[in-house]
Structure 1
């Protein structure tokens, strides 16, 4: 018989685990502190003690979900920084899509809820946590296009890459009838979709790089 004892999660962590899941399922407005406490097997006083109020619990549970994602799927894909830029971009894209596709990941589900019913509560924390990821991707895109890349080209490439990844998020949260589902692309194979996004993005960047070279050469 296995007698290994697994110690119970401490109250604060139980609240974070439970709140991140419930906020992902229902959004900020529909989720209640009472429900979170009931499922976390604690009381409302513990929320007040550890987080002060519902708003701060929301922020901290979102941050917790983000940190859990980063532990499972490092944003650089675990790729050595000295590896070719094409491989590093592939690592970032595959990491992002893996995080979106993972049913146990609550970070992007909360973001999706926030986009549907904006509270503005996440603006500061999103800037703190997501902006470094955005900047890292932009630096990588500029490296791939070349030193003559314009700021607009970099921003457009960033929007194209992230937009492809976030399409999976939208499809994942659609609630469609069987009749309507046949008009929606099957996104069940996230790894295959990630490979497509990598190849499509690299081809687009290559075309942009060649266009810049021809333009500069003709000047």
Structure 2
């Protein structure tokens, strides 16, 4: 029961923070949506600030669940494809991406400093995996700045489809991701990425 209450609080807070931003979402409304009392927020998270940081951490983990390439990913192309597959939504019913994008957008519009606090634990590991995916295509003397920019570019090509998942579900975007479409989308992104990365001078 205790775990269910904590999970309900996280889900309710994630939804309200995504809808209203940190400053406009009250702990009273979060507790009401989670069908619990105000004291439970203090019990599980100590404060609204700590709850917000946990929501952001949980959102990054849930939205960008990057898996390490399997043993079958022996070439640089296979490893790139495995990375892309881990970021592309498997279905338009996956609403995590759109909600995550709203959370990040609110944080960009009205910074609380929370992203800085989870940079090492949540953000940097994902960026490091992206760097590992693109590094084999770049020249050995590629600067850290260019490597980082290329990694962010690749992540952006994938995450935009998570951000648009809700609109695709409503039929407003002609990019289906259900069933075989998800794998076709992975193949398309990979093909475009390979054409760009393979043209980089080694």
Equivalent of residue 148 in structure 2, options 134, 155, 166:
155
Q: Deviations over 1:172-218 (max 9, x none)?
A: 588xxxxxx7xxx644437244332211111111111xx33xxxxxx
Other-structure match for 1:217: none
| Max Rg structure | 1
Displacement of 1:129: 0.8
Counterparts in 2 of 1:87 and 1:40: CA distance versus 1, 3 Å: same
Other-structure match for 2:199: 207
Are 1:197 and 2:189 an aligned pair?
A: yes
Q: How many residues are aligned here?
A: 193
**TM-score normalised to the size of structure 2?**
0.77
SS of alignment partner, residue 114 of structure 2: coil
Q: Which residues of 2 match residues 9-158 of structure 1 at below 5 A?
A: 9-69=3-63, 74-76=65-67, 79-80=70-71, 83-98=74-89, 102-105=94-97, 106-158=99-151
Cα distance in 1, alignment partners of residues 100 and 36 from structure 2: 23
Cα distance in 2, alignment partners of residues 118 and 167 from structure 1: 22
Aligned-residue CA RMSD (Å): 3.1
Counterparts in 2 of 1:78 and 1:109: CA distance versus 1, 3 Å: farther
Counterparts in 2 of 1:76 and 1:145: CA distance versus 1, 3 Å: farther
User: Is residue 73–residue 82 contact of structure 2 (8 Å, CA) maintained in 1?
Assistant: no
Of the structure 1 ranges 126-135 and 107-116, higher mean CA displacement relative to structure 2 is found in 107-116
Moved over 4 A (4+): 169-174
**TM-score normalised to the size of structure 1?**
0.71
Cα distance in 2, alignment partners of residues 27 and 154 from structure 1: 32
Any gaps of 5 or more consecutive residues in structure 2? Answer: none
Displacement of 1:36: 1.0
Cα distance in 2, alignment partners of residues 16 and 171 from structure 1: 23
Counterparts in 2 of 1:66 and 1:167: CA distance versus 1, 3 Å: closer
Higher relative contact order (CA 8 A, sep 6+): 2
Any gaps of 5 or more consecutive residues in structure 1? Answer: 1-6, 175-180, 213-219
Other-structure match for 1:177: none
Of the structure 1 ranges 185-194 and 88-97, higher mean CA displacement relative to structure 2 is found in 185-194
User: Is residue 138–residue 155 contact of structure 1 (8 Å, CA) maintained in 2?
Assistant: yes
